[in-house]
Structure 1
Amino acid sequence: MIHEDRVRQMIKLAVYDENKSMGEKKPAQYFRKDYLALEMIKSFFCGTMAYAIIVILGAVYLLGNGAGDISTVNFIRILILTVVLYAVFLGIYLVLTYSIYSARYEKGRKASREYYHTLKRVNEMYRQEDTAKTPEEWL
């Protein structure tokens, strides 16, 4: 005999497995601190690469347009400005990364908790079915 509530719960589990991408399941595999640290390290390197590309493209643009005589350029001022802008850019980028991945972690953990709660209910239904003598006792 088919137990309708168990079928509903199993459909919920199947839908979760089918629709959730690895990006939504990944937070459940880590502790919060480890997940955020991993994402912050990745963001640090990506942000550094992005800033380096922006600086290089800006330098090529200025040199290509003949922005001025190279002998009159104050390299120390440009270097200090570049480092300060890098620190500001990276600081903002990492704060955004932290807030976004914190929210993703909480969303993933909540979905994971719901999944395991549903899984426990299905297992309990199977246990009740195994111990029941008649189909009417399954409920």
Structure 2
Amino acid sequence: MIDEKRLYQMISLARFENKNRDKALRISRTYQNDYIAMSLLGNFVLTTVAYILALVLFAMYNMNFLLANLNDLNFRPMLAVVIIVYLIVLGVFSVISYTRAKLRYVRAQARMAEYQRQLRRLYKMYKDEEQLDTIRKNWGRKNRDE
């Protein structure tokens, strides 16, 4: 006979697995430092590409000015400003990325802890039923022996 509590528990676990298959289950398989490092590495690549694209767009927008004053421009201070602004942008986005990755990891761990508690509860339900079946079988043997 099907136990309703156990059935509801299995449905709850299946819903969690379907809902969090890509997120919490994947995140929980990695260490926190590795997950944050991968997030920061992705942030570095995306920020660098976005900054280069922004510089190219800015240069294209101001192409007339750049070509007209090409001989008069002092490139060292301009390069220093570009690098300093890049480092500031990278720093800001790195802090945001670090915070976001840390929060995601902590939330995923909390969801996985709840998932583990539900799994243990289901396991206990199976064990209790198994013990009850063993007791019933033993009790039936005692009655037949008497």
Normalising by structure 1, we get a TM-score of 0.89
| CA deviations over 1:34-64 (Å, ceiling 9, x no partner) | 111111111111111111111111112111x
- Residue 130 of structure 1: CA displacement? 1.1
1:2-13 paired onto structure 2 within 5 Å? 2-13=2-13
| CA deviations over 1:4-31 (Å, ceiling 9, x no partner) | 2111211110110111241333220111
Please say if residues 43 and 97 of structure 1, whose CA atoms lie closer than 8 Å, have aligned partners that are also in contact: yes
Aligned twin of 1:66: 65
Aligned twin of 1:129: 129
Q: Distance in 2 between matches of 1:24 and 1:125?
A: 25
Q: Which amino acid aligns with 2:42?
A: K
Deviates more, 1:29-38 or 1:92-101: 29-38
Aligned twin of 2:75: 75
Q: Distance in 2 between matches of 1:120 and 1:21?
A: 19
Q: Distance in 1 between matches of 2:82 and 2:128?
A: 68
Greater than 6 Å deviation, 4+ residue runs? none
Q: Distance in 2 between matches of 1:130 and 1:18?
A: 28
Q: Distance in 1 between matches of 2:109 and 2:5?
A: 25
**1:96 corresponds to 2:96:** yes
Structure 2: tracts of 5 or more residues without a match? 137-146
Percent of aligned positions with the same letter in both sequences?
A: 28
- Residue 124 of structure 1: CA displacement? 1.2
Q: Distance in 2 between matches of 1:126 and 1:34?
A: 36
Q: Distance in 2 between matches of 1:69 and 1:40?
A: 39
| CA deviations over 1:48-99 (Å, ceiling 9, x no partner) | 1111111111112111x33542111111111000000000000000000001
Normalising by structure 2, we get a TM-score of 0.85
Count of residue pairs the alignment pairs up: 133
Aligned twin of 1:137: none
Which is greater in Rg?
A: 2
Root-mean-square deviation (CA, aligned residues, Å) is 1.4
Aligned twin of 1:36: 36
